[in-house]
Amino acid sequence: MHENTIAELALGLKNKDYSSEELTRACLDRIQALDGELNAFITVTGEAALAAARAADAQRARGEAGPLTGIPIAQKDIFCTRGVRSSCGSRMLDNFVSPYDATVVERFHQAGAVMLGKLNMDEFAMGSSNETSFYGPVKNPWDTGTVPGGSSGGSAAAVAARLAPGATGTDTGGSIRQPAAFCGITGLKPTYGRVSRWGMIAFASSLDQAGPMARTAEDCALMLQVMAGFDPRDSTSVDQPVPDYSATLGDSLEGLRIGLPKEFFGEGLDPEIARLVHAAVDEYRRLGATVKEVSLPHMHLSGPAYYVVAPAECSSNLARFDGVRYGYRCAEPKDLKDLYMRSRGEGFGAEVQRRILIGTYALSAGYYDAYYLKAQKIRRLISEDFRRAFEDVDVIMGPTSPSVAFRFGEKSADPIAMYLSDIYTIAVNLAGLPGMSIPVGFSNRLPVGMQIIGDYFAEERLLNVAHRYQQVTDWHRQAPAL
């Protein structure tokens, strides 16, 4: 069963080939057998999962099943889950048990999905390699000496290793797409505001967006159908109708206009990745698409702008973790100042502390205009570049990452080199656009991902474009030898 996609599992449940309880037990057995090596899960909710599976089987017996009823999934540990530890990969929240469910979690419950547990991640979603987690690094199932990408590395590894058919992720600067590329799965970052952020522990509020991670675009469509939609509890949620994402998956690509940004294929890109992306684009030509070069002239400024905006917002968001109200509290503080300093110094890891300090500096008096305000102006220029490009093309394609998964420790001592692994994904978050990564081949026996970017609320088109490619290729069917 573990080799089947969500869509195939749903059909098996419908045909009574197996029950949700049997399927859930199979997933839990696989987690127990393999996750000791991979470290993809922080918390496994076995008993609750089996109870939910039995409830889903009863619901199906009553004829009340939906597309995801009884399907096991796993949640990134950035989402609050009632009665379950919600740690965000940090010592600061190691003892935090949420009293409520995030909207995303709530909607999966309502859809009858079964939660297997909570997935490992870079601390507070800050990282590109899943090496910053308080619970230790996640290992890439294709080569356990390499990173799975971050911050949703636990989600990507769990899906790639067939521990879970699907998982949720979050994407602030590429944290769904880059790990999806490194682990050879499909990951979608929706338009900002399409999926509620309520109950999702905040990193950078104007950039964070939740999305689905699964083996195929078809599975991502089923998951996004549940996740998307207006939420009055989230002030950044957009009140816009949600289309039927599965209905248009098979639409023809005849006449599709693909743009290839020249800035995506310059210095720093692994030549083999460039070759594989161009080969995938050639496949789209055979499916009826036309291809032209486009330009995103301010692309080179996306990294500097992001690493002012994101740390500034994280500095504000993480101020609430002070050792007073909830979360980690240092032992025997001498006074209030000692309580603050030691609780934060001991509760936060090095990367989180680095970004808090950068952000606090950028927001300080005398530097706000020079850094934060200027970064926001650059953000507008980047958005305008995409707007002009989408006047001439329907989607933009390019590499998801300049390299395949790198080895543990290779970039951890050089934060700038680590930050550059997200160079092709960051601009999408700054502009608030939807983007996804799909597997398009292998380099040195490691997966390669191609990024597809769409205009605002064009998730329907992105899923269609990805699905048609996956109908004529089998990269998404490849599995690591475990």
Instruction: Give residue 414's pLDDT.
Output: 79
Q: Where are the alpha helices (DSSP H) in 73-230?
A: 103-110, 153-160, 177-183, 217-227
Domains annotated for the chain, with CATH where assigned, are 1-482 (3.90.1300.10)
pLDDT one-digit tens code per residue, 404-432: 999 999 987 777 778 778 999 999 999 99
Q: Is 151 a catalytic residue?
A: yes
- Band the pLDDT of 446: cuts 50, 70, 90: very high
Active-site residue flag, 16: no
Catalytic residue among 20, 76, 86, 87: 76
Average pLDDT rounded to a whole number, residues 26-41: 98
SS3 461: helix
Which member of 90, 151, 343, 412 is catalytic?
A: 151
Residue-by-residue DSSP string for 266-293: STTS-HHHHHHHHHHHHHHHHTT-EEEE
Q: Residue 188 has what pLDDT?
A: 98
Q: What is the pLDDT of residues 84-138, one digit of tens each?
A: 999 999 999 999 999 999 999 999 999 999 999 999 999 999 999 999 999 999 9
Distances (CA, A) of 254 to 79, 166, 286, 460, 468: 39, 30, 9, 16, 11
Contact by Cβ (8 Å): 199, 39: no
The length of the chain, given as a count of residues: 482
Sheet of 290-294, strand order: 41-44, 114-119, 72-76, 166-171, 209-214, 186-189, 435-443, 446-454, 395-399, 257-261, 290-294
pLDDT at position 412? 78
**76 catalytic per annotation:** yes
What does the alpha-carbon distance between residue 90 and residue 356 come to, in Å, rounded to a whole number?
Answer: 14
Question: Helices (H) and strands (E) in the chain — how many of each?
Answer: 15, 11
Supply the mean pLDDT for the chain.
96
The catalytically annotated residue of 19, 20, 133, 175 is: 175
> What is the tens place of the pLDDT at every residue in 148-200?
999 999 999 999 999 999 999 999 999 999 999 999 999 999 999 999 999 99
Contact (CB, 8 A) for 159 and 215: yes
Spatial separation of the C-alpha atoms in residues 296 and 346, rounded to whole Å: 42
Assign 452 to helix, strand or coil. Answer: strand
Q: What is the pLDDT of residue 311?
A: 96
The Cα-based distances of 368 to 311, 352, 374 in angstroms read 13, 20, 8
**Residue 455 near residue 135, CB atoms below 8 Å:** no
Q: What is the pLDDT of residues 336-387, one digit of tens each?
A: 999 999 999 999 999 999 999 999 999 998 899 999 999 999 999 999 999 9
Q: How far, in Å, CA of 277 to CA of 400, rounded? A: 9
* Helix, strand, or coil (residue 114): strand
pLDDT of residue 366: 86
The tokens describing 377, both together, are 């102006």
Q: Are 81 and 115 in contact (CB under 8 A)?
A: yes
| Amino acid, res. 111 | A
